[in-house]
Amino acid sequence: MGTLNPNFEGEAVIVTGATSGIGREIALRFGDAEAAVIVADIEKEPKDAAVPTHEVIVDEGGTAEFVQADVTDCSQLTELVNIARDYGGVDVMINNAGLFIGGSILELDPEEFDQIHAVNARGVYFGTQVAAIDMIDRGEPGVILNTASISSNNAQFDQVQYDSTKGAVRMITRGAALELAEEGIRVNAVAPGQIGTEFIDGWSEEAPEAAKNDDLIKPVPLGRAGTPEDVAGAYLFLASEEAGYVTGDLVSVDGGWQVF
Ligand code: NAI
């Protein structure tokens, strides 16, 4: 099989939730592809690695900066696009930060509901807004990518609050794509399946076994859990000119989880 060799030299990419997990790998891949990467996260120290994301990129000769930012705070999202102006302005905004809170709808605590929606849905909405306004102001249309989930399309037991945030991400993506198309801005989402990260405590160890049996409602057709490396390439494709006619879509990277 061939490989794509994306290059984003001269472009500025913001990745939220880029300290750990999927966001970290996305940031590293854009760093490899010569983008200037703004690594935005509420935490500086990775849960799953020794060296912070931006340091890996810089150590390998790339350009990256860590910015401590909470996506629930609109002024901090605006600050991210302001910082991107130091690198020519945001070309690719990746709203990836997310958290998981499980539990039955019969037990759901209103504060937890607000917390998970503030990060997973509101953070994506306003991350999209600030990036789009900045692109329009500069007259430089770019690309906005959101991290959705298999939960954007499918209910899972004891996940109604999480699933509802990811359903919102799907519709934020589609609505924004519709509205921003005339500005030349493309908006898409990536929907990862079961990816072994520290998103849920201990999940990186459990995910490979869970993928082979029906512990999680159904097994993964490709027979294994995914990795951040499996997912990151979709973001590079969607950000690239190769995807110039793709907007409003939700690209699943789930080992076939949704086929049955
Ligand atoms: P992770 O927990 O490894 O990484 C999430 C990152 O987001 C962390 O670095 C965390 O510090 C950051 N973050 C959390 N709240 C934040 C906030 N308020 N502001 C800024 N940063 C914040 O988890 P993972 O798995 O890499 O998740 C990334 C995205 O992928 C999330 O949106 C998640 O919902 C989504 N996803 C994950 C799947 C999985 O199986 N791991 C499956 C489908 C979607």
Report domain extents, the chain.
12-252
**Residue stretches of the chain with pLDDT short of 50:** none
For residue 216, the model assigns a pLDDT of 56
Close Cβ partners of 224 (under 8 Å, ≥ 6 residues apart)? 208, 211, 212, 255
Q: Is 130 within 8 Å of 81 (Cβ atoms)? A: yes
Strands of the sheet with 12-16, listed across from one edge: 63-68, 36-41, 12-16, 90-95, 143-147, 186-192, 250-253
pLDDT in tens, 139-167: 999 999 999 999 999 998 999 999 999 99
For residue 217, the model assigns a pLDDT of 60
Stated pTM of the model: 0.98
Query: How does the average pLDDT of the chain come out, rounded?
Result: 95
Distance 139 CA to ligand 1 centre (A): 31
For residue 215, the model assigns a pLDDT of 58
Protein residue closest via CA to atom 41 of ligand 1: 195
**Tokens 């991350």, residue?**
127
Provide the residue type at 192 as one letter: P
Q: Is the CB of 66 under 6 A from ligand 1?
A: no
For residue 226, which atom of ligand 1 is closest to its CA?
A: 40
Q: Is the CB of 53 under 6 A from ligand 1?
A: no
What kind of fold does domain 12-252 have according to CATH? Rossmann fold (3.40.50)
